[in-house]
Amino acid sequence: MPQPLEPDTKDWTWVIDRACPECGFDPHAQSLADVPRLLHDTAMVFSQVLRRPGVRERPAPETWSPLEYACHVRDVHRIFGERVELILSQDVPVFANWDQDQAAIDAAYADQDPAVVDLDLIEAAGHVAGLYSTVTPQTAGRRGLRSNGSEFTLETLGLYHLHDVVHHVHDVGA
C-alpha cells in the first residue's frame, strides 16, 4: 500500500477569477452552460486513462497514481453534486468540510478496481452534470458557503469544480 501523500492545503478558490498556470484552465473561457459537457468530456478522458497499463503506479512517491486521481475525481463529482443540491434546495447552505486526503486513505484509492472506478466516475460525472444543466439564469446566483467561509454561487461553484477535474486530467498527462 502506498504511503499517504503530503496533504494539499492550498486555497484554490483563485481559479474562479484567473487562469491556472499549471493546467491552463481559464474560468473566463467557460460558462456554467459549458460545465455539463466538459464534465462529460473529462469523464471520458479518465475512462481512457483507467485502461492504461500501469494505472496503479505512482510516477513519484509524492504523486498519486492515475487510479488514485480517478478515484479522487469520482469523489469530487459526488461532493459537488451534494453541494449543488444543497444550493438548489436551501438558502445559503454551509457545506460540510471534506478532507480529500483522508478520503483517499479511508477509501484505499490505490486498491480499488479500475473498471469499477471507471463506471462510478462516469455515473457521478453524469449525475452532477445533470444537476448543473438544471441551473437557470434565475438560479445561477444562488449561494453556498464552504466551511472556511469561501462563498460560491452555482456559477462559480461549477467553474471551481470544472477546474478541479481539468487540472487532474493535466496531472495524469491526458
Mean pLDDT, the chain, whole residue set: 94
pLDDT at res. 61: 87
pLDDT at res. 9: 61
pLDDT at res. 95: 96
pLDDT band at 8 (very low <50, low <70, confident <90, very high): low
pLDDT at res. 7: 59
pLDDT band at 2 (very low <50, low <70, confident <90, very high): low
pLDDT at res. 112: 98
pLDDT at res. 10: 67
pLDDT at res. 74: 98
pLDDT at res. 3: 66
**Radius of gyration from C-alpha coordinates of the chain:** 16
Cell of 153: 454561487
- Region 35-62: mean pLDDT is 96
pLDDT at res. 147: 87
pLDDT band at 114 (very low <50, low <70, confident <90, very high): very high
Three-class SS of the chain: CCCCCCCCCCCHHHHHCCCCCCCCCCHHHCCHHHHHHHHHHHHHHHHHHCCCCCCCCCCCCCCCCHHHHHHHHHHHHHHHHHHHHHHHHCCCCECCCCCHHHHHHHCCHHHCCHHHHHHHHHHHHHHHHHHHHCCCCCCCCCEEECCCCCEEEHHHHHHHHHHHHHHHHHHCCC
pLDDT at res. 156: 97
pTM above 0.85, yes or no: yes
Q: Quick one: what percent of the chain has pLDDT higher than 70?
A: 94
* pLDDT tens track for 133-171: 999 999 999 999 998 888 999 999 999 999 999 999 999
7 vs 15, residue with greater confidence: 15
